[in-house]
Amino acid sequence: MEALSTLAQLIASGLLTGLVFALVAVGLTLIYGVMDVVNFAHGEFLMLAMYATFGLALLGLGPLVGLPLVVIALLLFGIVVYRLFIRRLLAGPPEATVFGTFGLLVLLQGLAQALFSSDFLTIANRPLQGVVRAGPIALEQATIVEGLGALVLTAVLFAFVEYTETGRAMRAVAEDRVAATLMGIDVQGVNAAAFGIGSACVGAAGALLMLSYPVYPTAGAQFALTAFVVVALGGFGSIHGALLGALIVGMLEVLGGFYLAPELKMVPVYVAYLAIVLLRPQGLLGRR
């Protein structure tokens, strides 16, 4: 009986953990889908969003209240970074985007350390610190909110891509860039929008994560690493794929940690990733 309730707890935690990964990953996959760029500085955008949320909290705005502001800030930041930097990378050889975004990673981490120091910063008096209990299962309110945020974000993004004009333009560019240009779509504008919206998603993720985590210069790195695996597993460019991949990764990590060993909890994740891309190189729900 104990074993069953433990299992139930682990499954619930695993799903929630997966949703938190999805929260971080969804912006990444959008950017890739539209412009074929894997933003290796994704974790650092997350870190900046977390610092921004912390800054707003110092002014008295809690993470939930500050969320829309952080989203807008990251949207603008993403557009600026695209126009000033990513666009130049796209004009070069394919490896340029890889190393350009990696350079951005190092630069942003260094800036964070220089400006904010390496101290771990947590928001004082965070809301939603309680626990929700259902039978033998206990889940943190903050994590539930983060999970809900992931679902909302996925739904919103999906609706955006499906039903809005900009979204449709993005899909067109993703499918065939040349044809999209011929049809009069402003590819640069679409790219900028995609990068901005992807960053905005990360902004939402950062704001929500501040409910549970401290921020420090390398806070985004581990989330980002898992996000890359999630996105690759689910298929680059597929929003549903990111969600599915995240849930799988979350379950594997938590269940693997308990039934295998905590020090090996990432092993099933990586093995599963390699197995899936061996059998299906474009990821679970990826196209091309």
Q: Which of residues 178-237 bind other proteins (CB under 8 A)?
A: 212-214, 216-219, 221-223, 225-226, 228-229, 232, 236
Measure the CA–CA gap between 64 and 151, rounded to whole angstroms: 16
Among 58, 65, 155, 274, binds other proteins (CB under 8 A): 274
**The binder of other proteins chosen from 58, 65, 120, 152 (CB under 8 A):** 120
Site for other proteins in 153-182 (CB under 8 A): none
* Contact partners, residue 213, CB within 8 Å, separation at least 6: 50, 122, 219
Residues 6+ apart with CB under 8 A from 24: 42, 46, 202, 205, 209, 223, 224, 226, 227
CA 185: distance to chain centroid? 27
Question: Is the sign of the CA dihedral 145, 197, 178, 97 positive or negative?
Answer: negative
User: Does 39 interact with other proteins (rule: CB under 8 A)?
Assistant: no
Stretch that binds other proteins, among 53-61, 102-110, 183-191, 194-202 (CB under 8 A): 102-110
Q: By C-beta, is 45 or 213 nearer to other proteins?
A: 213
Q: Which stretch binds other proteins (CB under 8 A): 9-17, 178-186, 195-203, 241-249?
A: 9-17
Span interacting with other proteins, options 52-60, 159-167, 170-178, 267-275, rule CB under 8 A: 267-275
By the rule CB under 8 A, 152 interacts with other proteins: no
Rounded to a whole number of angstroms, the minimum distance from the CB of residue 26 to other proteins is 16
CB atoms within 10 A of CB 166: 15
Q: Which of 65, 179, 189, 270 binds other proteins (CB under 8 A)?
A: 270
Residues 48-67 that bind other proteins (CB under 8 A): none
Contact status, residue 190 vs residue 173, Cβ threshold 8 Å? yes
Give me the amino acid identity at 169: A
Comparison of 108 and 169: residue with beta carbon closer to other proteins: 108
In this chain, which of 4, 59, 118, 163 binds other proteins, going by CB under 8 A? 118
Q: Taking the complex as a whole, how short is the minimal distance between the CB of residue 42 and other proteins, in angstroms?
A: 12
Q: How many helices (H) and strands (E) does the chain have?
A: 12, 2
- Is there binding between residue 38 and other proteins (CB under 8 A)? yes
Amino acid letter for position 184: G
Number of residues lying near other proteins (CB under 8 A): 84
Smallest gap from residue 75 Cβ to other proteins (A): 21
DSSP states along 82-125: IIIIIHHHHTS-HHHHHHHHHHHHHHHHHHHHHHH-S--B--TT
User: How near is the Cβ of 32 to other proteins at its closest, in Å?
Assistant: 7
Among 100, 147, 203, 245, binds other proteins (CB under 8 A): 100
Instruction: Candidates 58, 65, 117, 159: give the one binding other proteins (CB under 8 A).
Output: 117
CA proximity to 124, closest of 50, 203, 214:
214
Paired strand residues for 215: 121
Strands (E), the chain: 131-134, 137-140
Binding other proteins (rule: CB under 8 A), the pick from 93, 135, 163, 165 is 93
